[in-house]
Structure 1
Amino acid sequence: MTPSLTQRLGYLFGRTLPASMSDWVLRDLTGPGATRRYLLRILIPVIPPLLLFLLLPGPLWMGAAMMALLYIPLVYFTVALMYVYRRHRLVQHGLDPALADAETRARGAAERAEYERRHGRGGAGHTG
């Protein structure tokens, strides 16, 4: 099931979707393209208000510098808080917050298994 337009708009503004849409929420927050969607949802809508700085009297570079002073930290904190946001939204929809990094843990487990397959468990037989 996918949300209707009004449900999707509510979801974008932080509302909870019905339990019947849990699979859609899980795919949205953890599926392919989840990082891109998260960044676009936060970083694109703030650009038009920031463009108002270009209307201030003075050199164009000054308005651009004021925009950058606000936008660069926003990008930094948006990326830094992505994991926290995903966990919050999963909990908000009654899903396990551990799903926020399930792909990363699975990748790490696969890398560890490959390492142990190549080198033996705990580096047995290795002399320094």
Structure 2
Amino acid sequence: MSNRTKPTPAQRIRYICGGTLPPSMAQWVIDDLTGPGSARRYLLRILVPVIAPLCLFLLIPGPSWIGPAMMALLYLPLIYFTAALMHVYRRHRLTAHGLDATLADARNRARSAAERAAYERRHGRG
């Protein structure tokens, strides 16, 4: 059993494709899914790889605007749904690794608590 705290390149590729990592890497998974830059990493991991297959639409004969229009018809909804389902994805990935799904909300809860405390201080309740 390995006590590594960071995934090897092979483990990282498997993780990106949906696999799980050993329990010794739980903190790395938490940081990856909830830490700084997690939204950017999530979007890049999903949106960049699909560009290559979408480029096949450029090979369809016809006016030059047909290929890009067909790409856009698929890519724009993908962007929308990828962003909309980010929270669901994070919770699923945390659960798949045996972690508490509420960790996905930790930053939002901390920010809300800080805003509430500031509000209560401003309005004489704290």
After TM superposition, the score normalised by the length of structure 1 is 0.92
Q: Which residue of 1 aligns with 2:101?
A: 97
Structure 2 distance, partners of 1:107, 1:73, is 30
Once the two structures are aligned, what percentage of the paired residues are identical? 70
Select the residue among 29, 33, 49 that pairs with 2:33.
Answer: 29
Select the residue among 18, 23, 32 that pairs with 2:22.
Answer: 18
1:49 is aligned to 2:79:
no
Q: Which runs of 4+ in 1 moved over 4 A?
A: none
Structure 2 distance, partners of 1:90, 1:110, is 25
Select between 70-79 and 56-65 the one with higher mean Cα deviation. Answer: 56-65
Select the residue among 110, 114, 117 that pairs with 1:113.
Answer: 117
Structure 2 distance, partners of 1:5, 1:38, is 17
Q: Of the two, which has the highest radius of gyration?
A: 1
CA offset at residue 120 of structure 1?
Answer: 2.6
Q: Structure 1: which 5+ residue stretches go unaligned? A: 122-128
Structure 2 distance, partners of 1:34, 1:91, is 17
CA offset at residue 9 of structure 1?
Answer: 1.0
Structure 1 distance, partners of 2:120, 2:39, is 31
Q: Name the Cα RMSD after superposition.
A: 0.7
Question: In the alignment, residue 30 of structure 2 is paired with which amino acid?
Answer: L
Select the residue among 7, 12, 18 that pairs with 1:8.
Answer: 12
